[in-house]
């Protein structure tokens, strides 16, 4: 192993200064491991490290985009941050409060500050409840006024998501996909949360509907200063909604930075390949993305991640060191870090990167 | 249209529902030349899948009150079930949308591939043939070799192993490759691909699309490509047909459609797509009309920012707006693209010209009275 001092400072917890000195949300070394059992005695046979040490922070009122392919751990990250699945370890601070330490009772009370909009509006709304009782549920749980005050709030929320007020007496089955998702959004913002996880909020919708939903989400954010974590696999969408983004691969963040830097000059081979695979509708966009890079093979089995850099099995730049140890996050710009040895001056190959 | 392999003329498809008859496809026309890739683009519920299923003859519960589907000049709607069956798989085949559910989970990939080869071109397997097949191992071995070869061609690295695998043992990308292999196994002349990349991750999708492109190029297969993604359509197709609510609202060569989109729906769709350079639009308000009680005039009028009262009354027949560009919108003038609409053209609806054209020449603008032949 090479012992010489790093010439490029590895920045394990690289958090650029920007306005992130006092972030609304900060995640430190978050881990979620799912145990695997086998045999008739259900002996623990290993684990899937779905989220394996993820750190990032989000400034108040900003949108942080988390992008990656299926199985990369982006949804698990979002869910463990809200403790919808219990994280294995790590620290999640939301508005100064470490969520991981909260007792059940405290957690329930704290949930008014952190909400989620689920991916599939068809399955995340109870089909046997009317829209009114769906949106009212969080208000009731958190003792929001009397029934009159709640009704008023429901009307206000329906206005906010651009749904006619009489829709409150409908059932989800009577609504279109876009309308259902608006109800999901109204429910999530009912208690004026500080932080909302948007888990692929538009991937089940048509593009013409998606654009409306995105506009509504942006209006709400502007008005109430809500901080968003936007989880998606759609990079072109992220370019339009996020302030900063993180690219995930097999449970690790491989690149983090502000949206313009990452799109303008991706510094990890995986981010570059992802960007190159976007399908575009204009020549302009065609030029704005890297030339098509075809990745070898497929995402490895998360139970048997490659040693060292998890991406090396598909990377065109792989060299000896990649198998030995995992790269740190190397600083590549004022607000951009990438987990790749190509940026380490110890290795000659670094020169190959542009 | 020198030698179209597939021609769809004035196709209507109806479904009986308990709310009345749903007029799901309302008179669509399009054709695919040999070796060409045409795309059918539209959003959920616009009738793209119904269209291709009626071409394949996979819609037992639908009625087709009017229309023609000509495959190599022969009207397939007049063929018997057995005759259509014998053409499926051999002459035309289809890649289904969802690789997770369109393979049989209790059969190995190999068994499913062998089935295609065993049945191809045969409406029924006769008893004597069955006996002969069982007794002779020759055909079987041949089929096996052919299937494994095909798996190799879709760039599966261990074809023998995949041949013996059950679908659950394969990843989404692998399953999609298997489906492509099955669809191409009997060298069809027409391939219908129903959103083959949608269920896959972007990097896998890009690879599968490239592969498909290569394979059809080699074989000179004609492809009808169904997708909701104009970006994908732009990448794969030569011609695009934009569908809305059971009608084709605009058809043009791919480059022309993107350079000069005309129908307000096409334009709304293009503006809604998040892009890298310009941003995200406002989307399109409203939703699809009720198919059991469709509007008399333009089916898009309720959602159209340029609609006038007349649009709700008069049917916007597709009209030639360029040499090879047809748009079904009253904003455009031009001779009817179909003969059957000539009577409608005698009483034109005047709602002015498209506002985006009056401000100055649109890029790549094709003069409205050009290309009035046909």
| pLDDT value for B136 | 67
Residue B229: list chain A partners with CB under 8 A: 279
Nearest to B287 among A176, A281, A298 (CB): A176
What six digits make up the tokens of A69? 């392919």
Out of B228, B275, B281, name the one closest to residue A206 (CB). Answer: B228
Top-confidence residue, A173 or B208: A173
| CA angle centred on B340, ends B335 and B341, rounded to 5° | 45
- A73, pLDDT greater than 60: yes
Q: Which residues of B touch A204 (CB under 8 A)?
A: none
A2-11 mean pLDDT: 39
Chain A interface, best mutation among B43, B171, B177, B203, by max A CB count within 10 A: B203
B374 in a structural domain: no
What is the percent of chain A with per-residue pLDDT over 90, rounded to a whole number?
A: 66
Compute how many other C-beta atoms are within 10 angstroms of the C-beta atom of residue A283.
11
Are the Cβ atoms of A69 and B203 closer than 8 angstroms?
yes
End-of-domain residue from the set B188, B208, B239: B239
Closest residue, chain B, to A205 (C-alpha): B44
In this prediction, residue A11 carries a pLDDT of 40
Task: Give me the sheet containing A330-333, strands edge to edge.
Answer: A114-117, A195-199, A227-232, A63-67, A244-249, A252-258, A336-338, A330-333
**Nearest CA of chain B to the CA of A333: how many Å?**
21
The answer to whether position B364 is within a domain reads no
- Write out chain B residues lying below 8 Å of A201, CB-based: none
Provide the shortest C-alpha distance from residue A61 to chain B (in Å): 20
Interchain contact, B275 vs A282, CB within 8 Å:
yes
Q: Name which of A274, A285, A295 is nearest B275 (Cβ-Cβ).
A: A285
CATH number where B335 lies:
3.40.50.300
Contacts of A298 in chain B (CB under 8 A): 171, 173-174, 204
Asked whether residue B55 falls in the same domain as residue B203, the answer is yes
Residues of B in contact with A212 (CB under 8 A): 282-285
Please report the pLDDT score of residue B86 as a whole number: 82
Q: pLDDT, tens digit, for every residue of A45-57?
A: 888 899 999 999 9
ipTM of the complex, rounded to two decimals: 0.81
Residues of B with CB under 8 A from a CB of A: 43-44, 171-174, 201-207, 210, 228-232, 234-235, 258, 268-285, 287
CB A66 within 8 A of CB A231: yes
Q: Which helix (H) or strand (E) holds A186?
A: helix A177-189
Using CA coordinates, name the residue in chain A closest to B203.
A277
Domain co-membership, B206 together with B353: no
Percent over 90 (pLDDT), chain B: 48
From chain B, pick out residues whose CB is under 8 angstroms from the CB of A294.
206-207, 210
Please report, in angstroms and rounded to a whole number, the separation of the first and last CA atoms in chain B.
Answer: 10
Q: Do B202 and B260 fall into the same domain?
A: no
Within a domain: B371: no
Query: Across residues A208-227, what is the average pLDDT?
Result: 94
Orientation of helix A207-224 relative to helix B264-272, angle to 10° = 50
Nearest CA in chain A to B269: A208
Tell me the shortest Cα–Cα distance from A15 to chain B, in angstroms: 26
Q: Which of B189, B212, B239 delimits the end of a domain?
A: B239
Q: Show Cβ contacts of residue B144 under 8 Å, excluding neighbours closer than 6 positions.
A: B110, B114, B163
Alpha-carbon Rg for chain B in angstroms: 22
B347 closest CA partner among B312, B317, B309, B305: B317
What pLDDT was estimated at residue A6? 36
Interface of A with B (CB under 8 A): 69-70, 176-178, 206-215, 233-237, 239-241, 263, 273-274, 276-282, 284-285, 288-289, 292, 294-295, 298-299
Low-confidence ranges of chain B (pLDDT < 70): 1-2, 120-126, 133-134, 136-137, 359-374
* Residue A7 confidence class, pLDDT cut points 50, 70, 90: very low
Task: Tell me which residue range forms the domain holding B310.
Answer: 245-358
Q: How many residues does chain B have?
A: 374
pLDDT recorded at residue B222: 94
Which of A208, A276, A279 is closest, CB to CB, to B268? A208
B260, B235: one domain: no
3-state SS of chain B: helix, strand, coil percent to 5? 35, 20, 40
- Residues B275, B224: one domain? no
Using an 8 Å CB-CB cutoff, list chain A residues near B231: 278-281
Contact B205 A277 (CB under 8 A): yes
Q: What is the least distance, in Å, from the CA of B40 to any CA of chain A?
A: 15
Each residue's pLDDT tens digit, A292-330: 888 877 788 888 888 899 999 889 888 888 999 999 999
Per-residue pLDDT at B141: 84
Does residue B201 fall inside a structural domain?
yes
Tell whether B258 and B164 lie within a shared domain.
Answer: no
Same domain, B40 and B111: yes
Q: Residue A70 is nearest to which of B43, B201, B234, comparing CB atoms?
A: B201
Closest residue to B276, CB basis, from A233, A236, A295: A236
Whether the pLDDT of residue A4 is over 50: the answer is no
* A129 contacts: CB under 8 Å, gap ≥ 6: A137, A171, A172
The nearest CA of chain B is from the CA of A240 a distance in Å of: 6
Residues 6+ apart with CB under 8 A from B132: none
Give me the residue from A215, A241, A274 closest to B203, CB to CB. Answer: A274
Write out the two tokens for B21. 């008859």
**Residue A208 is nearest to which of B172, B235, B284, comparing CB atoms?**
B284
User: Environment class of residue B339 by beta-carbon count within 10 Å: exposed (0-12), middle (13-18) or buried (19+)?
Assistant: exposed
Do B8 and B75 belong to one domain? yes
| Cα A176 from chain centre | 26
For residue B292, tell me if it sits in a domain.
yes
Domain boundary (B239, B265, B295) is at: B239
Query: Could you tell me if residue B369 is inside a domain?
Result: no
Least confident among A67-71, A75-79, A94-98, B110-114 = A67-71
Number of structural domains in chain B = 2
Contacts of A239 in chain B (CB under 8 A): 274-276
Each residue's pLDDT tens digit, A218-236: 999 999 999 999 999 999 9
Q: Within this chain, do residues B92 and B184 fall inside the same structural domain, yes or no?
A: yes
CB pairs under 8 A between A and B: 120
Nearest residue in chain B measured CA to CA from A281: B231
B200 with B283, same domain: the answer is: no
Residue in B232, B278, B283 nearest the CB of A279: B232
Spatial CA neighbour of B172 closest among A69, A73, A313, A249:
A69
Q: Is the dihedral of CA B152, B157, B159, B160 positive or negative?
A: positive
Tokens at residue B210, please?
Answer: 């490239």
In a domain? residue B224: yes
The pLDDT value given to residue A19 = 60
Residue B210 belongs to some domain of the structure = yes
CB atoms within 10 A of CB A239: 24
Q: Which of B174, B117, B110, B175 is nearest to B148 (CA)?
A: B110
CB-based contact A30:A92 (threshold 8 Å): yes
Distance, in Å, from the CA atom of A191 to the CA atom of A137, rounded to the nearest integer, reads: 10
Cα separation, A46 vs A200, in Å, equals 30
Report the alpha-carbon distance of residue A13 to residue B236 in Å, rounded: 43
Residue range A244-300, pLDDT digits in tens: 999 999 999 999 999 999 999 999 999 999 999 888 888 888 888 888 888 877 788
Q: For tokens 């906010």, name the residue.
A: A160
Cβ of B231 within 8 Å of Cβ of A274? The answer is no
The minimum CA-CA distance between A84 and chain B, rounded to whole Å, is 25
Q: Both B193 and B44 in a single domain?
A: yes
State whether B212 and B66 are in the same domain.
Answer: yes
A86-95, A114-123, B196-205: range with lowest mean pLDDT: B196-205
Tell me the shortest Cα–Cα distance from A295 to chain B, in angstroms.
7
Position A352 scores a pLDDT of 57
């Amino acid at each position: 192993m090479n012992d010489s001092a790093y010439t490029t400072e590895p920045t394990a917890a690289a958090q650029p200064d920007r306005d992130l000195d006092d972030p609304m949300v900060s995640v430190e070394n978050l881990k979620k491991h799912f145990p695997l059992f086998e045999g008739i005695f259900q002996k623990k046979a290993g684990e899937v490290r779905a989220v394996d040490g993820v750190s990032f922070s989000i400034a108040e009122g900003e949108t942080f985009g988390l992008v990656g392919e299926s199985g990369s751990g982006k949804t698990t990250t979002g869910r463990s941050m809200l403790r919808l699945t219990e994280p294995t370890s790590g620290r999640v601070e939301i508005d100064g409060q470490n969520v991981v330490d909260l007792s059940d009772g405290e957690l329930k009370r704290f949930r008014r500050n952190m909400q989620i909009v689920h991916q599939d509006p068809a399955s995340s709304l109870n089909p046997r409840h009317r829209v009114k009782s769906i949106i009212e549920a969080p208000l009731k749980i958190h003792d929001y006024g009397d029934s009159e005050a709640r009704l008023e709030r429901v009307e206000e929320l329906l206005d906010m998501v651009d749904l006619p007020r009489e829709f409150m007496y409908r059932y989800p089955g009577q609504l279109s996909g876009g309308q259902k998702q608006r109800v999901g959004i109204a429910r999530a913002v009912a208690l004026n949360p500080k932080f909302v996880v948007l888990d692929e909020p538009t991937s089940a919708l048509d593009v013409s509907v998606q654009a409306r939903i995105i506009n509504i989400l942006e209006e709400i954010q502007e008005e109430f200063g809500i901080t968003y974590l936007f989880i998606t696999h759609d990079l072109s969408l992220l370019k339009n909604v996020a302030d900063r983004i993180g690219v995930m691969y097999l449970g690790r963040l491989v690149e983090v930075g502000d949206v313009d830097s990452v799109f303008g000059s991706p510094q990890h081979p995986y981010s570059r390949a992802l960007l190159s695979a976007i399908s575009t509708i204009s020549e302009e966009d065609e030029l704005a993305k890297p030339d098509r890079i075809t990745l070898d093979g497929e995402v490895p089995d998360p139970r048997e991640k490659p040693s060292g850099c998890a991406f090396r099995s598909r990377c065109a730049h792989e060299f000896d060191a990649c198998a030995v140890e995992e790269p740190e996050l190397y600083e590549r710009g004022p607000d951009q870090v990438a987990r790749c040895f190509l940026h380490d001056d110890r290795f000659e190959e670094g020169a190959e990167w542009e | 249209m020198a030698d179209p392999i597939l021609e769809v003329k004035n196709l209507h498809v109806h479904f009986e529902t308990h709310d009345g008859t749903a007029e799901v496809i309302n008179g669509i026309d399009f054709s695919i030349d040999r070796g060409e890739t045409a795309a059918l683009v539209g959003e959920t519920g616009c009738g793209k899948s119904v269209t291709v299923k009626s071409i394949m003859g996979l819609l037992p519960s639908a009625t087709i009150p009017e229309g023609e589907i000509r495959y190599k000049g022969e009207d397939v709607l007049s063929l018997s079930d057995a005759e259509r069956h014998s053409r499926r798989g051999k002459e035309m085949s289809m890649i289904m949308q969802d690789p997770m559910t369109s393979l049989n989970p209790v059969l190995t990939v190999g068994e499913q591939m062998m089935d295609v080869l065993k049945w191809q071109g045969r409406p029924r397997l006769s008893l004597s043939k069955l006996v002969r097949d069982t007794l002779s191992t020759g055909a079987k071995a041949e089929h096996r070799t052919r299937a494994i070869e095909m798996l190799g061609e879709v760039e599966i690295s261990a074809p023998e192993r995949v041949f013996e695998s059950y679908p659950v043992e394969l990843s989404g990308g692998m399953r999609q490759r298997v489906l492509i292999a099955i669809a191409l196994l009997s060298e069809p002349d027409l391939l219908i691909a129903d959103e083959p990349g949608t269920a896959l991750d972007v990097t896998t999708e890009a690879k599968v699309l490239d592969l498909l492109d290569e394979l059809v190029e080699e074989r000179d297969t004609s492809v009808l490509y169904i997708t909701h993604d104009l970006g994908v359509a732009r990448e794969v197709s030569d011609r695009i047909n934009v569908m809305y609510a059971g009608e084709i609202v605009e058809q043009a060569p791919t480059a022309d459609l993107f350079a000069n989109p005309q129908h307000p729906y096409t334009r709304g769709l293009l503006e809604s797509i998040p892009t890298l350079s310009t941003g995200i639009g406002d989307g399109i308000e409203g939703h699809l009309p009720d198919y059991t009680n469709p509007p008399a005039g333009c089916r898009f009028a309720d959602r159209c920012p340029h609609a006038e009262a007349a649009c709700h009354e008069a049917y916007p027949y597709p009209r030639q707006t360029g040499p090879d560009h047809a748009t079904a919108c009253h904003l455009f003038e031009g001779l009817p693209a179909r003969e059957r609409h000539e009577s409608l053209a005698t009483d034109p609806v005047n709602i002015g010209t498209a506002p985006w054209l009056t401000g100055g020449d649109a890029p790549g603008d094709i003069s409205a009275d050009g290309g009035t032949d046909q």
